[in-house]
């Protein structure tokens, strides 16, 4: 089998190197580019991301990458968004205001919002509702389980309840349940992986998720 080429979109606001190394580890050639025409000609696209949604989308638009990404996906070129890159796929985000995303997956990016407040020292935890005994911290950071909602080649070889590594304060809330490929629970269930036609998104960091994350990246390369 010939090596697949992954085109990784560089908009100047993300840490590309770790994702690049992970794809190379699973056998892909990686082209890192900020050139819209290279994006349009790609075999497979990856949109990584760390940082703030609004600033990232502004950088994507300033470089003329938004129309190139949309034209590529309309032609059927696969696109994988990773972490904040998954959030860019959605219609909008409420992170520090309201910002429009790429609109490739219907839905909104929302902030984790947990009630209950911290427990005081003299409070009897047995008298409190279970959900209020321990206030969940934001960001959601660390290892958590992913549960597939349906079968997909992207999740080939991934066992139910596998652990992945998350770092995020906002989560994706798709309009259509059919867009959700896997869920994770942190106070409530949320979309850990989305898949809609040739559009894919992973909320956790696959490059930090050991064998599970590498297998998912390999599956994407081999789609």
Q: pLDDT tens across 172-217, in order?
A: 999 999 999 999 999 999 999 999 999 999 999 999 999 999 999 9
**Cβ atoms 46, 9 nearer than 8 A:** yes
Q: Whole-angstrom Cα distance, residue 32 to residue 29? A: 10
| Total number of domains in the chain | 1
Give the number of other Cβ atoms within 10 Å of residue 54's Cβ.
16
Query: What is the C-alpha to C-alpha distance for residues 170 and 167, in angstroms, rounded to an integer?
Result: 9
What Å distances lie between residue 18 and 41, 84, 133, 196, 206, CA to CA?
24, 14, 37, 26, 10
* Cα within 13 Å of Cα(87), Cβ side: 28
| Whether 173 contacts 108, CB under 8 Å | yes
**Model confidence over 83-130: pLDDT tens digits?**
999 999 999 999 999 999 999 999 999 999 875 433 334 444 444 444
Tens-place pLDDT, residues 1-60: 568 999 999 998 767 899 999 999 999 999 999 999 999 999 999 999 988 999 999 999
β-pair partners for 108: 92, 173
Residue 170 near residue 95, CB atoms below 8 Å: yes
% of the chain surpassing 70 pLDDT: 90
Structural domain boundaries, residue 174? 5-221
Q: Label residue 155 by pLDDT band (50, 70, 90).
A: very high
Provide the mean pLDDT of the chain: 91
What phi and psi, each to the nearest 5 degrees, are found at residue 218?
-60, -40
Q: What is the CATH number of the domain that holds 208?
A: 3.40.50.880
Q: Which residues are catalytic?
A: 83, 205, 207
pLDDT score, position 134: 53
């Amino acid at each position: 089998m010939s090596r697949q080429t992954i085109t990784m979109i560089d908009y100047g606001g993300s840490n590309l190197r770790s994702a690049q190394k992970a794809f190379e580890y699973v056998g892909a050639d990686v082209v890192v580019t900020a050139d819209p025409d290279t994006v349009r000609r790609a075999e497979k696209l990856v949109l990584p991301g760390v940082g703030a949604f609004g600033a990232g989308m502004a950088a994507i638009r300033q470089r003329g990458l938004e129309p190139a990404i949309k034209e590529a996906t309309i032609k059927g070129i696969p696109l994988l968004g990773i972490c904040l890159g998954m959030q860019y796929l959605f219609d909008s985000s409420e992170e520090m205001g309201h910002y429009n995303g790429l609109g490739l997956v219907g839905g909104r990016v929302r902030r984790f919002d947990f009630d209950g407040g911290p427990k005081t020292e003299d409070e009897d935890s047995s008298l409190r509702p279970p959900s209020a005994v321990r206030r969940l911290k934001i960001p959601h950071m660390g290892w958590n389980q992913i549960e597939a909602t349906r079968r997909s080649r992207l999740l080939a070889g991934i066992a139910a309840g596998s652990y992945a590594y998350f770092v995020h304060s906002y989560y994706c809330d798709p309009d259509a349940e059919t867009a959700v490929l896997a869920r994770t629970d942190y106070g409530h269930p949320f979309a850990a992986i989305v898949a809609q036609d040739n559009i894919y998104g992973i909320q956790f960091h696959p490059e930090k998720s050991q064998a599970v994350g590498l297998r998912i990246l390999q599956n994407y390369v081999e789609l």
